[in-house]
């Protein structure tokens, strides 16, 4: 990585305050441990191969640090600044719950109203859950549904169609019995906001939150970034080399994770929460509503991946758009975010009037959590601890586990087999009620699978009737396609095993008109 270039600090740590502006900080004796933070960040970024990072810290209603580190794009010397725009990913969820909180306070909805009251056409697989599902259930990951991210990630479906297809998704757990993190019901929450206010989720967030907070460059869509000048480029490790990758358009799941912002503007969002819903004299919601958002709704078992992210936590729960846990006797309120090539984290410590936001242009990096603990230790007066090194060990262990799992798959491969049918017999269209169509075509002597407009993969024979999917987009999860014959020896079904999914996806073959199951 090229030498790290630092942006001009917007607000110097320990700066002398301007008496008329609460946004500037007086010297803070609690933050003495931050004096070596800059060197620590630079070293950690090098260790984690993170091209660029921005950080803001808020203490006692003042921004005590807002700064950029590294570069916006590898190969380009342009530095990250405190105004550089990154994707905040799932940290967007707290904006959606805040929007709902505003509507609750205005008397337009209630947390425990049934969703059907506002979206009468909404339907889940289980009629009982459809009837009983509340607004609160939408944003607490307790519906019993698994993530089902393939409904939106790289798919052609718009928001309305995703919501319609949720009715075909079979539950994995009993209703309200299990914390199952997912995104699609946050989309439903966004659609509910539209049904109640007549404004899209994007319009509501922009008019009711962004504009009053002065978040003038923050957006809810990557499309708006085309006119922005100070924007970070996403990066990911592809074939063991960190490379720039394109921005991912996730407008179809926006209420769950599509906000883009800078640390300078996210610091104002933090100030709003630390002031319990009031910002510069304007009340967005009352203190009781802030406490409600930070009240545990679901217990999370301390198992991976959460035990990796919160290694010191004695309790771990989910509130309304926030993870809640303890650290050194304090309640920590936070939410991370990961979307292609970007990792983010927003942290609040309400009793200390402390908050921070960390934004990076690197895919899935745990560095944001290492820096979180480094910052908290500094303000809590804890002994120095190399959290970056500890999280690197954890990341290495996870990588070794993944490599071992891949080796088991490789070792189980039966070599020397051939497909039972000629390539043309696998060609066709296959359909799943939830995820739609998969097509298989023969192109230039090889089979090509298409699962939506961007999920294109070359099929490489693995063994028997199983093919490995070589996705042309390297960020798509590892997958295998298994062709299942009927009693006549013709392919009737395609099953896809995709890394990260609990179960295989089954796609029934759609035969041409006059040949059985017609299109």
pLDDT tens-place string over residues 87-115: 999 999 999 999 999 999 999 999 999 99
C-beta of residue 420 within 8 angstroms of C-beta of residue 464: yes
The sign of the CA dihedral 29, 33, 38, 39 is positive
pLDDT band at 515 (very low <50, low <70, confident <90, very high): low
CATH of domain 29-104+181-402: 3.40.710.10
pLDDT, position 4: 34
Mean pLDDT of 407-424: 95
**301-341 pLDDT, tens per residue?**
988 889 999 999 999 999 999 999 999 999 999 999 999 99
pLDDT band at 368 (very low <50, low <70, confident <90, very high): very high
pLDDT, position 23: 42
pLDDT at 2 over 80: no
Least confident span in 66-75, 111-120, 301-310 = 301-310
* Nearest residue to 93 (alpha-carbon basis) of 355, 435, 279, 322: 322
pLDDT, position 33: 60
Mean pLDDT of 45-74: 98
pLDDT at 196 over 80: yes
pLDDT, position 164: 98
**156-168 pLDDT, tens per residue?**
999 999 999 999 9
Q: List CB contacts of 133: < 8 A, sequence separation 6 or more.
A: 114, 115, 116, 122, 124, 143, 175
pLDDT band at 456 (very low <50, low <70, confident <90, very high): very high
pLDDT, position 512: 74
pLDDT, position 25: 42
**346-355 pLDDT, tens per residue?**
999 999 999 9
* Nearest residue to 247 (alpha-carbon basis) of 339, 175, 121: 339
Residue recorded with tokens 């009993």: 174
pLDDT at 217 over 80: yes
C-beta of residue 144 within 8 angstroms of C-beta of residue 174: yes
pLDDT at 494 over 80: yes
423-510: what fold? Lipocalin (2.40.128)
DSSP summary character for residue 206: I
pLDDT, position 7: 33
DSSP summary character for residue 482: E
What is the pTM (predicted TM-score) of this model? Answer: 0.92
**221-270 pLDDT, tens per residue?**
999 998 899 999 999 999 999 999 999 999 999 999 999 999 999 999 99
In the structure encoding, which two tokens stand for residue 417, read together? 């087999």
Q: Is residue 287 helix, strand or coil?
A: helix
User: What share of the chain has pLDDT > 70, as a percent?
Assistant: 92
* Nearest residue to 85 (alpha-carbon basis) of 257, 229, 247: 229
pLDDT, position 19: 28
**Can you name the residues that pair with 332 across neighbouring β-strands?**
325
pLDDT, position 516: 55
Work out the mean pLDDT of the chain and round it to a whole number. 91
pLDDT at 39 over 60: yes
pLDDT at 297 over 70: yes
Domain extents for the chain? Answer: 29-104+181-402, 423-510
> How far is it, in rounded angstroms, from Cα 7 to Cα 225?
21
- Phi and psi at 231, nearest 5°, equal -130, 135
**Can you name the residues that pair with 317 across neighbouring β-strands?**
299, 324
Mean pLDDT of 392-396: 94
pLDDT, position 17: 30
């Amino acid at each position: 990585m090229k030498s790290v270039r630092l942006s001009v600090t917007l607000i110097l740590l320990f700066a002398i305050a301007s008496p008329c502006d609460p946004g500037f900080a007086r010297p803070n004796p609690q933050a003495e441990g931050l004096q070596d933070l800059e060197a620590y960040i630079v070293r950690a970024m090098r260790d984690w191969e993170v091209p660029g990072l921005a950080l803001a810290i808020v203490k006692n209603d003042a921004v005590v640090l807002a700064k950029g580190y590294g570069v916006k794009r590898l190969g380009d010397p342009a530095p990250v600044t405190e105004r550089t725009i990154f994707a905040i990913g799932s940290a967007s969820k707290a904006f959606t719950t805040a929007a709902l909180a505003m509507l609750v306070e205005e008397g337009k909805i209630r947390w425990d109203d049934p969703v059907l009251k506002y979206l009468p056409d909404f339907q889940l697989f289980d009629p009982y859950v459809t009837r009983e599902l509340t607004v609160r259930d939408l944003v607490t990951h307790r519906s019993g549904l698994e993530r089902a991210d393939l409904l939106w990630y790289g798919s052609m479906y718009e928001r309305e169609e995703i919501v319609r297809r949720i009715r075909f998704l079979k539950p994995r757990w009993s209703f309200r019995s299990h914390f199952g993190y997912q995104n699609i019901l946050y989309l439903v929450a966004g659609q509910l906001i539209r049904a109640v206010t007549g404004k899209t989720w994007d319009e509501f967030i922009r008019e009711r939150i962004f504009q009053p907070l002065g978040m003038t460059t923050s957006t809810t869509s990557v499309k708006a970034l085309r006119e922005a000048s100070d924007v970070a480029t996403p990066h990911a490790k592809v074939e063991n080399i960190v490379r720039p990758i394109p921005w991912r358009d996730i407008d179809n799941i926006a209420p769950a994770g599509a906000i883009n912002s800078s640390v300078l503007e996210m610091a104002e969002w933090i100030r709003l929460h630390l002031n319990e819903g009031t910002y510069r004299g304007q009340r967005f919601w009352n203190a009781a509503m802030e406490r409600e958002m930070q009240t545990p709704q679901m217990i999370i078992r301390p198992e991976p991946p959460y035990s990796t992210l919160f290694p010191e936590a004695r309790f771990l729960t989910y509130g309304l758009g926030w993870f809640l846990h303890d650290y050194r006797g304090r309640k920590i309120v936070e939410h991370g975010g990961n979307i292609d090539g970007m990792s983010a984290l927003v942290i609040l410590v309400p009793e200390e009037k402390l908050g921070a936001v960390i934004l990076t242009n690197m895919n899935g990096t745990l560095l944001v959590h290492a820096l979180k603990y480094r910052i908290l230790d500094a303000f809590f007066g804890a002994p120095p601890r190399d959290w970056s090194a500890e999280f690197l060990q954890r990341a290495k262990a996870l990588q070794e586990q993944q490599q071992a799992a891949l080796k088991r798959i490789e070792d189980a491969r039966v070599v020397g087999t051939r497909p039972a049918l000629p390539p043309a017999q696998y060609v066709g269209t296959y359909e799943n009620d939830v995820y739609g169509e998969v097509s298989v075509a023969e192109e230039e002597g090889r089979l090509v699978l298409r699962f939506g407009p961007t999920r294109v993969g070359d099929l490489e024979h693995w063994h028997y009737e199983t093919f490995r999917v070589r996705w042309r987009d390297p960020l798509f999860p590892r997958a295998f396609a298994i062709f299942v014959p009927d009693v006549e020896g013709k392919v009737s079904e395609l099953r896809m095993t995709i890394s990260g999914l609990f179960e295989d996806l089954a796609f029934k073959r759609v035969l041409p008109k006059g040949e059985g199951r017609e299109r």
